[in-house]
Chains A and B, each alone.
Chain A
Amino acid sequence: MKAIFTKTAGLSDRPFHYCPGCTHGIIHRLIGELLEEMNLIEHTIGVAPVGCSGFCENYFTCDMIGAAHGRAVAVATGAKRARPDRFIFTYQGDGDGASIGLAETMSAAARGEKITSIFVNNCIYGMTGGQMAPTSLVGQKTSTSPYGRDAATMGYPLDLPKVLTQIEGAVYVASVSVDSPQAIKDAKKVLRKAFQVQLDGLGYSFVSILSTCPTNWGVNPVEALEWLQTKMKPHFALGELKVPATEGGSEA
Chain B
Amino acid sequence: MALLMKGNEAIAEAAIQAGCRLFYGYPITPSTEIPEYMAKKMKAVGGTYLQAESEIAAIYMVYGAGAVGERVMTGTSSPGFSLMQEGLSFLFAAEIPCVIVDVMRGGPGLGGLGPTQADYFQLTKGGGHGDYHAIVLAPFSVQEMVDLTKEAFDLADYYRNLVIIAADGILGQMMEPVEFPPVAGRKLEPKTWAASGAEGRPKNNVLSYYLTPELGEAENLRWGEKMSRIKETEQRFVEYEMEDADYAFVAFGTSSRITETAVDMLREEGIKVGLYRPVTLWPFPEKGLTARLNQIKGWMSIELSAGQMVDDVKLVVNGKAPVGFYGRQGGMTPEPEEVAAAFKAQLLGGE
Do B205 and A82 touch (CB < 8 A)?
no
Given contacts A57-B207, A81-B50, contact A65 B64 (CB under 8 A): yes
| Interface residue tally for chain A (C-beta within 8 Å) | 33
- Shortest beta-carbon distance, B111 to chain A, in Å? 23
Query: Of B48, B61, B198, B206, which one neighbours A66 at CB under 8 angstroms?
Result: B206
- Residue from A44, A57, A77, A104 with most neighbouring chain B CB atoms (10 Å): A77
Q: How far is the CA of A107 from the CA of B61 in the complex (A)?
A: 12
Q: Does A63 belong to the interface (CB within 8 Å)?
A: yes
Q: Does B179 belong to the interface (CB within 8 Å)?
A: no
Q: How far is the CA of A104 from the CA of B48 in the complex (A)?
A: 19
Q: Does A114 belong to the interface (CB within 8 Å)?
A: no
- Shortest beta-carbon distance, A151 to chain B, in Å? 29
Do A74 and B199 touch (CB < 8 A)?
no
Q: How far is the CA of A44 from the CA of B87 in the complex (A)?
A: 23
Q: Does A30 belong to the interface (CB within 8 Å)?
A: no
Q: How far is the CA of A62 from the CA of B68 in the complex (A)?
A: 13
- Shortest beta-carbon distance, A193 to chain B, in Å? 22
Do A107 and B205 touch (CB < 8 A)?
no
Given contacts A62-B203, A82-B22, contact A75 B197 (CB under 8 A): no
Do B203 and A63 touch (CB < 8 A)?
yes
* Chain A interface mostly: helix
Q: Does A78 belong to the interface (CB within 8 Å)?
A: yes
Q: Which residues of B contact A81 (CB under 8 A)?
A: 22, 24, 48, 50, 61, 65
- Residue from B57, B65, B208, B211 with most neighbouring chain A CB atoms (10 Å): B57
A10-33 interface (Cβ within 8 A of B): none
Do A74 and B203 touch (CB < 8 A)?
no
- Shortest beta-carbon distance, A52 to chain B, in Å? 14
Query: Of B53, B62, B198, which one neighbours A78 at CB under 8 angstroms?
Result: B62
Q: How far is the CA of A70 from the CA of B211 in the complex (A)?
A: 20
Q: Does B290 belong to the interface (CB within 8 Å)?
A: no
For residue A45, which residue of chain B has the nearest CB? Answer: B195
Do A65 and B70 touch (CB < 8 A)?
no
Do B53 and A79 touch (CB < 8 A)?
no
Do B207 and A79 touch (CB < 8 A)?
no
Q: Which residues of B contact A71 (CB under 8 A)?
A: 56-57, 60, 63, 87
Q: Does B209 belong to the interface (CB within 8 Å)?
A: yes
Q: Which residues of B contact A61 (CB under 8 A)?
A: 198, 203
- Shortest beta-carbon distance, A17 to chain B, in Å? 10
Q: Which residues of B contact A42 (CB under 8 A)?
A: 197-200
Given contacts A42-B198, A83-B197, A103-B54, contact A63 B64 (CB under 8 A): no
For residue B54, which residue of chain A has the nearest CB? Answer: A103
For residue B74, which residue of chain A has the nearest CB? Answer: A78
Q: Does A210 belong to the interface (CB within 8 Å)?
A: no
A22-80 interface (Cβ within 8 A of B): 41-45, 47-48, 54-55, 57, 61-68, 71, 74-80
Given contacts A63-B203, A65-B64, A71-B63, contact A78 B87 (CB under 8 A): no
Query: Of B67, B87, B199, which one neighbours A65 at CB under 8 angstroms?
Result: B67
Can you name 12 A-B pairs with beta carbons within 8 Å?
Answer: A48-B207, A68-B208, A71-B63, A74-B56, A74-B63, A77-B61, A78-B61, A79-B65, A81-B50, A103-B53, A104-B56, A104-B57
